[in-house]
Structure 1
Amino acid sequence: MSTKNVTKIASDSIEEKILTIRGQRVMLDFELAQLYEVETRALKQAVKRNIDRFPEDFMLEVTKEEWKQLITNCDNFPERHKHNPVPPYAFTEYGIVMLSSVLRSTKAVEVNIQITRAFIKLRRFASLHEELAKELKDIRTAVKGNTNDIKVKDNTNGQRENMLFDKPIQGLCRTDIGKHKRF
């Protein structure tokens, strides 16, 4: 594959376009069309011609209620898509991979590789997040079980401070502080 014609898309811009609908990470049809440099109408037409390649776990048909909620929560959608009466299709990672075979262009293959890498990066991040959440939960459980120990330690530290500051230091000559001479 020639690297001269490959247009690198910033992975951050791809990750910003990945949404969660019905518990699945997806990208909307008009954003994919923009990345593939095709019209949304052409993308939808190719999908409709090959609808048997897009089972429910590859593509979701966004309901009108979900679309209204997305418009409310995501302010970065273009105006022309916000007011479209027909909700977009939402493609899962597998649906996006299938799109490259339906669109049959080198641009679609190149973009799919970058999108797949973005999904993998998000999956790794989510896995790390889950591990950290589990560790935090374990720490909280351990701390809850040991709250009495912590209170005792805090109390003894306070008693030590009181003992140090309540009584004057005996045995040191005030004129030679730092030399610790004894009389």
Structure 2
Amino acid sequence: MSQIIIPNEIITNKIYFIRNQKVMLDRDLAELYEVEPRRLREQVKRNSTKFPEHFMFRLNEIEIELMVSQNAITSKQSLGGSLPYVFTEHGVLQLASVLKSERATQMSIKIIEVFVSLRDFLTDNLNLKLEVDMIKKKLINHDKNIELVFTYLDELMDKQENKFERTKIGYKK
């Protein structure tokens, strides 16, 4: 059993965010599993009960056009002429069980590790963003308090100036 050596970045670049889910295209998974995309789709169709909607779904024309316009894929032709399936993290794991190859099993593990590290990265960034937002709110509050102090100081200085003004004595013209 040889270890699969593929940089995580290659897998990460094949993960897309569609319908509020992180997914991978069937053709990308077929390439990573070293199987024909047609064979992968056949196995999925034969085992359709193992792939509920939250494991896998088919892209529609609008989603494909959007991916082409954002350069996520080069063209519609690169998809092989049919609407592609996309697989969520759970679907990727399930694929290994229907493809039944050592490569598919190892690659699924590697892909799941990338999904988990991506989720951790996003969670860490979210926590960091929340902390930055909290600091911004504190700074805004501090700015308001400082402005208030200066306003009070100005009022006090005006009162002090008025207090020391005397009426002038003498002849008035």
Instruction: State the TM-score, normalizing by the size of structure 2.
Output: 0.80
Q: Is 2:17 aligned against 1:20?
A: yes
Q: Partner of 1:110 in structure 2?
A: 106
Equivalent residue for 1:157?
Answer: none
- The alignment status of 1:39 with 2:36, answered yes or no, reads yes
Give the aligned residue type for 1:25: K
Residue range with higher mean Cα deviation, 69-78 or 15-24: 69-78
The aligned residue for residue 142 of structure 1 is 138
Find 2:66's aligned residue among 65, 69, 80. 69
| SS of equivalent residue, structure 1 residue 120 | helix
Q: What letter is aligned with 1:58?
A: F
SS of 1:90's equivalent in the other structure is strand
1:148-168 deviation per Cα after TM superposition (whole angstroms, max 9, x unaligned)? 3456899xxxxxxxxxxxxxx
Unaligned 5+ residue runs, structure 1? 155-183
Cross-structure match for 1:54: 51
Runs of 4+ in 1 over 2 A off after TM superposition: 74-80, 148-154
1:48 deviation in Å?
Answer: 0.5
Deviations for 1:12-61, whole angstroms, at most 9, x for unmatched residues? 10011100001000000000000000110000010000011000100021
TM-score using structure 1 length: 0.76
Once the two structures are aligned, what percentage of the paired residues are identical? 35
Give the direction of change, closer, same or farther, for the CA distance of 1:78–1:111 in structure 2 (3 Å limit). Answer: farther
Assess if the C-alpha contact under 8 Å between 2:8 and 2:114 holds in 1: yes
1:60 partner SS:
strand
After superposition, the Cα gap between the structure-2 partners of 1:21 and 1:125, relative to the gap in structure 1 and judged at 3 Å, is: same
Change (3 A) 1:46 1:121: same
Letter in 2 for 1:14: I
Q: Which moved more, 1:145-154 or 1:99-108?
A: 145-154
In 2, the alpha carbon distance for the partners of 1:20 and 1:146 equals 39
The one-letter code sitting in structure 2 at the alignment partner of 1:90 is: V
User: How large is the RMSD of aligned CA atoms in angstroms?
Assistant: 2.0
> Can you give the 5+ residue segments of structure 2 that lack an aligned partner in the other structure?
151-173
How many residue pairs match? The answer is: 150
Q: Distance in 1 between matches of 2:45 and 2:13?
A: 26
Which residue matches 1:125? Answer: 121
